Every structure is written in C-alpha cells, then in structure tokens.
Chain A
Amino acid sequence: MLIPVIIGVTFIVYSIMFFTPGDPALIILGENAPEEQVEKLREEMGLNDPFIIQYLRFLKNALKGDFGRSYSTRKPVFNEVFSRFPATLKLSTAGLLLAVAIGIPIGIISATRQYSLLDSITMVLALLGVSMPNFWLGLMLILLFSVRLGLLPSGGDVGFASLILPAITLGTGVAAIITRMTRSSMLEVIRQDYIRTARAKGVAERRVINKHALKNALIPVVTVIGLQFGYLLGGAVLTETVFSWPGVGRLMVEAIKQKDTPVVLASVIFMSVVFSIVNLLVDILYAFLDPRIKSQYR
C-alpha cells in the first residue's frame, strides 16, 4: 500500500509544481542569458519533452534517490533535504512526545471527573490550544522567555535549551487535540456495557479505568496521533521559520522565496513519504492494541 501511495503523491506534487511559472533554464542561467544557451539547457534538462515523459523520468530518478539539483546551490536536492531531516525529525518527535505525555493523562483524568472544575479548566485550555496558530504561539513564547525574561534562546539548533520553545510551540496544538480525543473516547468507552460488566464483577473503579477502559479508549486516539504527525510535519514548516530551526521546513520556505522548485518538490514529497511511513507504523501499533484487527492479519 505504501508504494502506490508514494507514486501517487509524487504524481500529484509533480503535476502541481509543473505549472510553476518561470522557465527553470532562465532561473538557473539568469534573466539575461543568451537565447541559444537557454534553449540548449532546456534541451539538456528535457524541458521540451511532454509532461508524462518528464514525470516518468523524474519518478525513475527519484526512486534512485535523485531529485535533481537545486537551482540556487546546484547541489543534489536529495542530499540537501536529507541533511536537514534529522533536525525536523528531532523537533517533530519532541513535539509529539510532549503532546502525548500531556494529552493522554489529562484526557483520562478529565473524563473520569466529567463536569468537575478540573474538567472545565482542561477543556477551556484545550480549546484555546486548538485555536492558537502555532507560529503566533511561538512568537509569544519568544517574547516572554527570550525577549522579556532572557531565559531561553529564540532560535537555532544549539542544544537542548533551544529545543524547548520550538517543541512547546509545535506540541501545544497536538496536545490539545489528543486531550480532547482521549477525553471523548474515554467517555464513550465508560458508557459501554462491558464497563458495566466489569463493575458488576466488583472491580475497583481505578482498575476499571486503567485496565478495562484505557486500552479500548486508546484505539481511536492512536489513529489521531498518527494523523497528527502529518499536522506536525506541516506545522514544522511554520515553527522552523519562527525559530530559524535548520530543518526541512525552513529549507522549503527559503526555496519558495528563491523559486527553487526542485527543492520545494523534494521537500513536500519527502515529508509526505515520512508521514505515510508513520501511518503504516500506526496501523501496526493499532493491530497490537486491537485484537479484532490482529486476527484479520493472521
């Protein structure tokens, strides 16, 4: 399932980027390059071939890890993107871990005390969390912790301290979504007949929650977490811009400004592939959590 998705993704993104105005040959050679030189490069780059030929050539090369060369640096695009990937992975993983570590426990506590003061406060905060653009949150955090208090660095990837603000920025929205999802899933599960069966067996309330309800409630939450990873990768583009974080997202934004299409193309494809792989992993984890799915695979 992964391979057709990746091929489909490359096709969609390649088709979109194909329509980018501006002649790549002109961008590489500069506006004032002589006509015949431009035409020669166009022929060399295969820009005069029909779309489908160009796409298949792109796909063939892409499968070998060759995404062409950057218009601006003339370096192989794949290496550029790949060398930036660890920073993005570090940031998104930190954001996700933070979100899971906050979202799941708070969601559970909130559900078990539905309508309590704690539940209300949590729900208001979670609603604020999903309503805040993360780049604005990032700026506000910089304003408070870097500009006013001078506690944490405002940008760059320079050790653990520099990871804190970007990770909070990226993780807050996802934490809020996971909190809401965990809470509602837990409330749904608590109403199920099998929870009543457990109570009728004399199982203590704590164990009802931790043993009977939690595993069932986490099944939909895991799916959401997988889907949110896509949001994290997308959000990383903005967060990396705010914090000058040297990841794929920032590379992409710079490439957009320089009309460096191959880099934009490769970045989008790269992140989509990572997202697809994460979703595949989530499916496997899912089977581990839900015996009904496990037995389908047997």
Chain B
Amino acid sequence: MSSSVTTEKDTNLKSQAGKKRSQWGEVWRRLKKNHMAMIGLIIMIILILLAVFANQIADYEEVAIKQNTANRLQGPSRENWLGTDNFGRDIFARIIHGGRISLMVGVVAVGIAVLIGGTLGAIAGFYGGRVDNLIMRAMDIFLAIPSILLAIAIVTALGANLFNLMLAIGISSIPGYARIVRASVLTVKDQEFIEAARAIGASDFRIITKHIIPNALAPVIVQGTLGVATAILSTAGLSFIGLGVPKPRPEWGSMLSDGRTYLWEASHITTFPGLAIVITILALNLLGDGLRDALDPRLKQ
C-alpha cells in the first residue's frame, strides 16, 4: 500500500572523471575564501623562500657561523636587525639558516612517517584479519610511548645529527599516519566502486593505487601539514636539550637554549628564535585547519 512519490534521482550520474578534476579546484576555491588559511599559506611561502635563498640573503660561513666576539650581545640595530648572540653572530641570519633545518627536518620526517605509516595502515586496512591485528597492535604499543620520548630515545641511541633527527621524529610519528590511512581505507574498501573494480578483474595493486590512495589523500594532507608543525616543535625541543644538529650549525631550539644564560642582559637571543618557531607553527596550523575545512565541507557551517 505504501507508494512513493519521490522521483528518481538520476542527475548525479555526471561523468566521474570530470568530477574528480573539479574536486581539487573546488577545494582550492574553498581554501581561497578562508582568510586565515591564506595568511598561513602566504607566511609559509615567505618562510620557504627565505630558507631557499638563505645563502643569497646572508652568507652562511661569514654571517651565520663566523664568530665576532667584539660585537657580542648587541640589541637589534640597522646592521643586525635582530641583534647578535653571545658569539657576536647575526641572529637574523642564524634564524634564516635555522629555518632551513627546521623546514627540512619537518618535511622529511613527515615524509618518512607518511611513507612507512601510510603503507602499514593501507596494508592493515586492505587485508584486514590477522595482518591488521598484528600491525595495529604494534602501533598501539608505539603510541603508548609519548612521541617526544621515543624520539629522544632514538636520537640518544643513534647519535645527534641531522639525519638521525629526521629519522627519530619520523619514526615516532608513524602510528598516527597508520591509523588515519587505515581508517580511510576501511571506509573506502567496502564501497561499491571497489567491488565493481574487483568484478572487472582489477588487481589488488591497481585497486590500492588507483582507488584507495586517492581517497585516503585528503586526511593525510591535513595531518601531514599539521605534522610538519609538530615535527618542527619536536626538532626544536630535542635541540633545546642538546639532541639536535651539532653546533655551530644554527637551529632554533639550540639558539634558544644558548640564550638562556643571557636572559637577564640580552633576552632578544631567546625571544627571536622563539618567535620564529611560533610564526612557523602558527602558519602551518592555520593552513592545516583551513585545508581540513576545505577538504571536508561537511564540517563547515
């Protein structure tokens, strides 16, 4: 007796390919409307440019490394925009060169974590069962160790240098990406288009690379952006307790740590590198939040 009045919804059958391409255009359009995210993006572009052209702006050997004790602990001036440190080195130059390290560690560490964590998560989600159980239990154990402590342990064991720093921070953030990728694989896996792909005989590899990875991309991009921020904070933290890149290479955390002794007479040594960290993290957070909203319009009012 029940008889429906609704007419068939037959318009949503537009070509999938066209939809896919415009989807990223749509994301960019939404992101552009978000002023805070655009501010974050612009700051990041400036920071990246400063890092790339650091040598053109201030010579590494001459300005950032060479000691000039006659000119130590000077406040900001026309020659030294942000003043000089306890060895008379220009703080602005050191911050720019330090930014290179921070951004590099951040990006490479996240890259390592996404690659390893993402693969583990994809395998766990795709194959399920015992493989899933094994991988995810291992991830749970990793998660039980506060990530900064895990990174400290790894750097302590392997020795403090740039590569080990990236490795340590990368490894300690693997579980987060494994979880995210697994979750999005699980939501995609049982959808009809995957079954359809199976039905026409697509291989597992093809299904993973053509269907599952593109669908897991959005949350990974968001998490990755925020992850670079966390990695930069961890780098600074490790350097602060002496587990960063060896001196005299400038690094924000170790610059802060050096400034501690001179907090009374030259607080700018501590203030400016800290501000550099805050600005970078803030920009990445703004961008990450904006990306999240742009990629998941459901959350937006």
Contacts and interface: CB of A to CB of B under 8 A. Distances in A.
A231 interface: yes
B23 interface: no
Main secondary structure of the interface of A (DSSP, over half): helix
B146 A17 contact: no
B236 interface: yes
A160 interface: no
Interface string B149-173: 1101110111100000000000000
A267 B156 CA distance: 13
B229 interface: yes
A135 B141 contact: no
A241 B141 contact: no
A161 interface: no
B282 A131 contact: yes
Interface stretch (B59-67, B80-88, B269-277): B269-277
B146 A272 contact: yes
Contacts of B241: 237-238, 241, 253, 256
Interface stretch (B6-14, B118-126, B195-203, B260-268): B260-268
Nearest to B240: A135
Interface stretch (A40-48, A73-81, A101-109, A137-145): A137-145
B271 A140 contact: yes
- Say which size band chain A's interface belongs to: 35 or more
A272 B301 CA distance: 39
A234 interface: yes
A120 B148 CA distance: 31
- Say which size band chain B's interface belongs to: 35 or more
B144 interface: yes
A132 B278 contact: yes
A268 B149 contact: yes
Contacts of A261: 156
B152 A268 contact: yes
A171 B301 CA distance: 30
A201 interface: no
A275 interface: yes
A128 interface: yes
Contacts of B240: 133, 135, 238, 241
Contacts of A8: 137-138, 141, 144
A234 B150 CA distance: 9
B148 A133 contact: no
Contact of B285 (A12, A20, A130, A267): A130
Contacts of A253: 241-242
Contact of B149 (A20, A241, A272): A272
B277 A20 contact: no
A27 to B, nearest CB: 13
B141 A5 contact: yes
B154 A12 contact: no
30 contacts: A5-B140, A8-B137, A9-B145, A13-B145, A17-B156, A17-B157, A19-B158, A127-B285, A128-B278, A130-B281, A131-B229, A132-B277, A133-B236, A133-B277, A136-B274, A139-B260, A139-B263, A143-B263, A143-B270, A147-B263, A147-B267, A230-B146, A233-B149, A237-B152, A237-B237, A253-B241, A257-B242, A264-B153, A268-B152, A275-B146
Interface of A: 4-5, 8-9, 12-13, 16-21, 114, 127-128, 130-133, 135-136, 139-140, 142-143, 147, 230-231, 233-235, 237-238, 241-242, 252-253, 256-257, 261, 264-265, 267-268, 271-272, 275-276, 279
Given A127-B286, A139-B274, 15 more contacts: A12-B150, A13-B150, A16-B157, A18-B157, A136-B274, A143-B271, A234-B146, A234-B147, A237-B237, A241-B241, A264-B152, A265-B153, A268-B149, A268-B150, A272-B149
